[in-house]
Chains A and B, each alone.
Chain A
Amino acid sequence: MDVLLNLSLNGLATGMLIFLLAAGLTLILGLMDVLNFAHGGLFAWGAYSGIWIYSKTGSFFIGILGAILVGFLLGILTERWIIKPVYGNHVQQILITLGLMLVLSEMLKVVWGPNQISANPPDYLVGSWEIGGVIIIKYRLFIIFVGLLVFAAVQFLLSKTKIGLVVRAGVMNKEMVQALGINIQKVFMFVFMIGAGMAALGGVLLGPYSGVIHAEMGLEFAILAFIVVVIGGMGNFKGSLLAAALVGLSGSFMAYYVPDLALAANMLLMAVVLVFRPQGLFGMKG
């Protein structure tokens, strides 16, 4: 029983990290129709900058805030300078964002060196609780809590505010949004900024979770995030949370019971969804 619970907690924590990366990706894809392969690079930059600020200030909280700000800034710059010129052209988007992904990874090595960097949780998040014989690791619970908090905040933004309404409307019909007098370019920039901030948050949270960070971590997680976007339905924010939990849990259980099939299981899950429900589990047809 405690194995199952621990595997579930581990899977959900990983799922939340994937969710933080996938949520921005799905909104960017759904609203802006942009295939952003550089999103993992923003995740890695969040990890490096956040852990660096944490090491300099001694405050994990300030490290998290710093990572989010770096994510916001990189998101704005990426949208303005890299993505804007290639709106509407998927081939160019793939090429330029893959190129940016490589540049972002290499820049990490230039700034922080080629070796991986160790990252530890703050003292108050080290250790575990034992409840009814089951050991619950504090930091995993913290990640799940932050992930759900971010989900609730963005969900509130999307459902209860005018900008959220515009974003949801834009995912469905951006031409009509413009015809109603709304500057969709500003909305694009806002969404990109929020998406990049969430990715950076995911990155900085991953550091103490895995114990080390390295320049290629973004690409590894980006693959999982793309799987989540497909399973959850492109542009579907709630779908990305549920699909991320599914992918996280599947990865965790498979890694324990059939380790050789851990990544293949997620790929297989995506393939099955694509065959039987091409719009994703939670996406709308058409």
Chain B
Amino acid sequence: MSELLKLNAVETYIGQYHILQGVSLEVKKGEVTVLLGRNGAGKTTTLRTIMGLNPASKGAITYKGEDIKKLPTYLVAKKGIGYVPEDQGIFADLTVEENMKVAIQKDNQETLDRMDWILDLFPDLKKFWKKPGGLLSGGQKQMLSIARAYINNNELLLIDEPSKGLAPIVVEKVMESIIQMKEQTTIVLVEQNFMMASTIGDCFYIIDDGRTVSHGVMNQLKQDADMRRKYLGIA
């Protein structure tokens, strides 16, 4: 499988804090790459750096072979990278319909077909189509955020902790939807829930203190209890 996204020794500052101190990773087309690590390790900052929301100060970020490190966020998104932030980024006063409309870049038949597919995947969105985004439940907000990132036929989705704060039954629903999307797109997933990460993920990168310290295929990590204990604090 060909490489879609590559980070090489990326460093990022947020204010005076040196958050990423050397993150390197390769995302292959069609795979789900999971970023793992303890709280504060730099996983979210890695996604934000790819999007240009916290620009990298050093290193290289290439998407389909093109340098995107210095691009403004909106151009990174226009390259075909969808982003689902940790806080879901729902526009609370806008309805579900309006949240989707803001996201749509091309108003054509392909988008309409994709919208039908999405609404079949997330029937709750259809049910609450005219309801303000701020009134949705946590799970529905997560579904809306994922749907919004997916509506533009993005080749790469960056999804930050989709299970955070959700009830187990809702986590299962979100996980099923990501598994379905996996058939059609490449995903970089930040996830603390190892059960979810290991079910969905094809390969993993572990980030610790702002550096990638280990990577491999997911089955390898499933069998390596020592590594899980050392970097993730789980057995």
Contact = CB atoms under 8 A, between A and B. Distances in A.
Contact of B74 (A165, A178, A284): A178
Describe A's contact surface by its main secondary structure: helix
B103 interface: yes
B53 A179 contact: yes
Residue from the set A166, A169, A181 with the largest chain B CB neighbour count within 10 Å: A181
A173 B94 CA distance: 11
Nearest to A235: B93
Contacts of B78: 181
Nearest to A181: B77
B89 A175 contact: yes
Given A165-B94, A168-B93, A172-B91, A179 B101 contact: no
Contact of B72 (A168, A176, A178): A178
A285 to B, nearest CB: 11
Nearest to A236: B93
B148 interface: yes
B44 to A, nearest CB: 13
Nearest to B51: A179
A183 interface: yes
Interface in B70-90: 72-74, 77-78, 83, 85, 89
B92 interface: yes
Given A165-B101, A166-B102, A169-B102, A178 B77 contact: yes
Given A162-B101, A165-B101, A179 B91 contact: no
30 contacts: A162-B101, A165-B101, A165-B102, A168-B94, A168-B98, A169-B91, A169-B94, A169-B98, A169-B99, A172-B91, A172-B92, A173-B89, A173-B91, A175-B53, A175-B73, A175-B89, A176-B85, A176-B91, A177-B102, A178-B73, A179-B51, A179-B53, A179-B73, A179-B89, A180-B102, A180-B103, A181-B74, A181-B78, A183-B74, A284-B92
